[in-house]
A and B are shown apart, each in its own frame.
Chain A
């Protein structure tokens, strides 16, 4: 039944989301909530896959965890925002993390991204609501 729900979303909204997240439980929850809201979701469980997929620039939104194995989210963000390394992509990048950072580091990261979310502070449904506001 779960699979049926995945393959036939109720109202496809035509937006593609890449979710770079190594914690499978969180990835599963986000995937489910986003699909229910009509998003087309691709999951990447490590940084290297995440970057390769992000570079294809087929996603409207990228959810990027900062602490993923392989390449970290911060490194991915740097590569993506450096136009000498990657052609500019149109995707909106939302940082999703539970990391505790000092304000300077956070501001630095926020300056390269379109949003910054503490995962523990929001539920999957609230994440969807956040993405709706972003549009």
Chain B
């Protein structure tokens, strides 16, 4: 309402000023004609009338402009909110001399009512406007947008942002402006098509480009994980001074509700883990303190009990990790590790499970392998799943071998080899699919069909590959590779990133520092 009053009084003063001036000019013109040029009254009146007419037209035009300019801006804004904006230019309320506050507040209101969908149209049209205007004036335009907006120059440096964007990023403007967008926002995308790669390709190949991404993630200090849709508009050498505009549509609540589906898995896993902890604990006491007192048969039973509790623990972890992979919540933290030490450690842990099934686990590891970059917990699950499979499918053959050596590409390859039933050729290509179980084994060998799916997800997130070789009735070998630590150590430009984080199933960090 205050803006309206201000506009009214502004107009009154403006109208009063011009009408007063024009009246004075008319009187002046009459006096000039009659006194200075000594014209008779009729001529003087006629000349004065002509001058008054011209003045009135000018004043009327001025007044109409003063009233209609704010209306025009509001009208433009209204059109921007409709789908068919066509050639209607973006309103520039900041340039108005009269009613600027009124127009800006009304446009802001309209954009808010129009919702974020329409605002995206505004973002893109604003970027494409060919209205020559210094960048500073556009700041006010960003400010009226009802969503966080970042404006970048041709080098992806943040030139300008609105208050909403500063709030969303949880940092003051000064800390954002002038920095590279990739440093300011630590974005994670679902696919390799990240903002950074898109911008690079847009710059290389197009003058104008638009893109949008669903479910982008960003960790904000003190505010936790934000999830949103991101839109971007690139226009080369744009006269607004901004080459790229980014808009954020926050959906943190909706997306995290959807992620909540994992919570029942989480609940089940918690409830399963407690009795498992207890079982494994008491079994361990028995193993320690009864071992020497038991008959060989009872000792064998005890080992079977222990191995089964271990296998159940591994299965519970599988369920949880598959849920995490599916919800893009499995995060790996890569560290430097000595594979020559780690692999025997893992094998020792799996030995009992092999032993109670009558299998022996042999190691064939090339000495002095290069240090690898792995997430210890997750890579253990890879090996545990592959060895469990080898135990299950090795039939009457007892031997399982864990080979490890440096591959042709310099990656460290590990292969779990069994001499069992093998895999029918038709089943090979489905092996790493979730829930897939070969028909031939379905009836005879129990399994969830989750193991290899998880193996692939974890290894891929490590930057490695999985493969399989098999011949029916001769056995199978499942292999995977992990990268040497030296190849990712270079990513640690910043000592603050003491470990490298990877997310399984394709959450890709935007910044190249995290990618290979």
A contacts, CB < 8 Å to B: 23, 25-26, 29-30, 32-33, 67, 98-100, 102-104, 118-121, 123-125
Name which residue of chain B comes closest to A24, CB basis.
B278
Name which residue of chain A comes closest to B225, CB basis.
A104
Chain B residues with CB below 8 A from A100, complex form: 265-267, 269-270, 320
Chain A residues with CB below 8 A from B280, complex form: 120, 123
Chain B residues with CB below 8 A from A32, complex form: 285
Q: Of B265, B277, B282, which is within 8 A of A98 by CB?
A: B277
Flag if B281 contacts A123 (CB, 8 Å).
yes
A120 to B273, CA, bound (A): 5
For residue B316, CB closer than 8 A to chain A, the reply is: yes
Q: Of A25, A104, A121, which is within 8 A of B281 by CB?
A: A25
Besides A25-B281, A98-B270, A120-B313, 4 more A-B contacts (Cβ < 8 Å) are A25-B282, A29-B285, A100-B320, A104-B225
Task: List B residues 223-275 near A (Cβ within 8 Å).
Answer: 224-225, 265-267, 269-270, 272-274
Flag if B274 contacts A98 (CB, 8 Å).
yes
A30 to B281, CA, bound (A): 8
Flag if A26 contacts B278 (CB, 8 Å).
yes
A125 to B285, CA, bound (A): 9
Q: A26-B278, A118-B273, A119-B277 are in contact. Are A104 and B219 (CB under 8 A)?
A: yes
Of all A-B residue pairs in the complex, the 3 with the closest CB atoms, nearest first, are A98-B273, A100-B266, A120-B273
Chain A residues with CB below 8 A from B219, complex form: 104
Name which residue of chain B comes closest to A127, CB basis.
B281
Secondary structure of the A side of the interface? helix
Which of A67, A103, A120 is the most central at the interface, judged by chain B CB atoms within 10 Å of its CB? A120
| Min C-beta distance of B317 to chain A, whole Å | 8
Chain A residues with CB below 8 A from B331, complex form: 103
Chain A residues with CB below 8 A from B282, complex form: 25, 29
Flag if B329 contacts A23 (CB, 8 Å).
no
Which of A25, A29, A121 is the most central at the interface, judged by chain B CB atoms within 10 Å of its CB? A121
Flag if B313 contacts A121 (CB, 8 Å).
yes
A26 to B313, CA, bound (A): 16
Chain A residues with CB below 8 A from B267, complex form: 100
A119 to B313, CA, bound (A): 11
For residue B473, CB closer than 8 A to chain A, the reply is: no
For residue B276, CB closer than 8 A to chain A, the reply is: yes
Chain A residues with CB below 8 A from B316, complex form: 120
The 11 sampled A-B contact pairs (Cβ below 8 Å) are A23-B278, A25-B281, A26-B281, A67-B270, A100-B265, A100-B269, A102-B329, A119-B274, A120-B277, A120-B316, A125-B288
| Min C-beta distance of B124 to chain A, whole Å | 33
For residue B167, CB closer than 8 A to chain A, the reply is: no
A33 to B329, CA, bound (A): 35
Chain A residues with CB below 8 A from B364, complex form: none
The 8 A CB mask of B322-365 against A (1 = contact, 0 = none) is 00000001010000000000000000000000000000000000
Chain B residues with CB below 8 A from A104, complex form: 219, 224-225
Flag if B284 contacts A124 (CB, 8 Å).
yes
| Min C-beta distance of A3 to chain B, whole Å | 16
Flag if B225 contacts A26 (CB, 8 Å).
no
Chain A residues with CB below 8 A from B320, complex form: 100
The 8 A CB mask of B82-109 against A (1 = contact, 0 = none) is 0000000000000000000000000000
Chain B residues with CB below 8 A from A124, complex form: 281, 284-285
| Min C-beta distance of B341 to chain A, whole Å | 15
Q: Of B265, B266, B284, which is within 8 A of A123 by CB?
A: B284
A23 to B270, CA, bound (A): 13
Flag if B329 contacts A103 (CB, 8 Å).
yes
Chain B residues with CB below 8 A from A23, complex form: 274, 277-278
Chain B residues with CB below 8 A from A25, complex form: 278, 281-282
A64 to B399, CA, bound (A): 43
Flag if B278 contacts A29 (CB, 8 Å).
yes
Chain A residues with CB below 8 A from B276, complex form: 120
A125 to B306, CA, bound (A): 14
Chain A residues with CB below 8 A from B266, complex form: 99-100
Task: List B residues 276-297 near A (Cβ within 8 Å).
Answer: 276-278, 280-282, 284-285, 288
| Min C-beta distance of B459 to chain A, whole Å | 19
A23 to B282, CA, bound (A): 14
A118 to B219, CA, bound (A): 25
Name which residue of chain B comes closest to A103, CB basis.
B331
A135 to B202, CA, bound (A): 55
A51 to B281, CA, bound (A): 26
Name which residue of chain B comes closest to A121, CB basis.
B313
A25 to B277, CA, bound (A): 9
A104 to B225, CA, bound (A): 8
Flag if A29 contacts B281 (CB, 8 Å).
yes
A121 to B282, CA, bound (A): 14
Chain A residues with CB below 8 A from B274, complex form: 23, 26, 98, 119-120
Chain B residues with CB below 8 A from A67, complex form: 270
A100 to B266, CA, bound (A): 5
| Min C-beta distance of B224 to chain A, whole Å | 6
